[in-house]
Amino acid sequence: MLDILIILIKIIALTFCVVLPLVPVSVFFERRFCAIIQDRVGPNRVGIPLTLFGFKKDCSILGIGGLVQPVADGIKLFLKEDFTPKYVRKAFYWLAPALTLAPALITACVIPFGSDISLFGYTEKLVIANIDIGPLFIFSVASLTVYGIAIAGWASNSKFPFLGGIRSTAQMISYEIALGLSIIPVLLYFGELNLSTIVQQQAEHGWLLLPLWGHDASHTLASKLLFWFPAVISFLIFTISIFAETNRMPFDLPECETELVGGYHTEYSSMKFAMFFMGEYAAMVIGSALIVTIFLGGWSLGFGTDVWISQLSIGDFGYGGFIHLANFETR
């Protein structure tokens, strides 16, 4: 019973309190950076609405305007009319958003968010499912997202969504090949498929792309530097493939608004559209987490500091894992 309770706490804390809050943060920063690139303003005004209570102006958070814009967008989507066109195939039309969001959240369960924490004599890893096939699990579950997008295009019973769904099928399946092949040298180097063990090895012997500490007879500096060059190639291919898998520019063919209005989600509104939106950005977060985990040491702060951090405690409460969690979230 206690084990089930711990798993439920991990699911709620790591998925709904760590991964999902990064979605609106990603939306805000993407919009601001796009505004800089395109020489426009972007969201810079929405703050705490104090004018509703008689104040002269709204309050900006940390002096940065627009930080509350994602909250306003969420409220707007939640309160909009949930409109379903008459000509759609309703069962599949309603199913498609869930098939897009669910795989992105499920893949979070094998990501190690930090080192172990301890309380009252119990030691727990900051990972929901510490399985020995972590990358394979992520690839297999994430590949199901294509069904949600393809079904959305087909079920909308409209030309532009259908074209978007077809494009998505071609693109996502194609880049899954590059995604899987690029990581094979890395997994052969570590000799492991357990993501927690991969991060632990990097904490002890140097990150894959920064192998500057932890040298010993089996992990010599020469062998690390020799593998550094193919590791950089794998990193570049893997990162580009993640961009394509998550439909980010310039791989936005499934929803290219200059050609297909909105692509596969043209006929969706309200929370159905929001689920597509959340699924896309949650996949971006998990993709970024996987890149950091495999190539940049995961939660490790590096340079031999992780053992000391892991031992930090107040009485029976070992809180070093939360420091690693904060580091992982920042990166």
Per-residue pLDDT band for 19 (boundaries 50, 70, 90) equals confident
pLDDT at position 290 over 80: yes
pTM: 0.85
**Residues with Cβ < 8 Å from 148, sequence gap 6 or more?**
95, 96, 97, 98, 99, 100, 101, 103, 279
The tokens 């609405």 sit on which residue? 49
Q: In this predicted structure, what is the pLDDT of residue 58?
A: 66
pLDDT at position 306 over 80: no
Q: In this predicted structure, what is the pLDDT of residue 269?
A: 77
Q: In this predicted structure, what is the pLDDT of residue 169?
A: 78
Average pLDDT taken over every residue of the chain: 80
CA angle (144, 147, 150) in 5-degree steps = 150
Q: In this predicted structure, what is the pLDDT of residue 63?
A: 54
Per-residue pLDDT band for 105 (boundaries 50, 70, 90) equals confident
What percent of the chain has pLDDT above 70?
Answer: 89
Q: In this predicted structure, what is the pLDDT of residue 257?
A: 60
Q: In this predicted structure, what is the pLDDT of residue 52?
A: 67
pLDDT at position 252 over 70: no
**39-68 pLDDT, tens digit each:** 777 777 776 766 666 666 766 665 566 777
Q: In this predicted structure, what is the pLDDT of residue 255?
A: 62
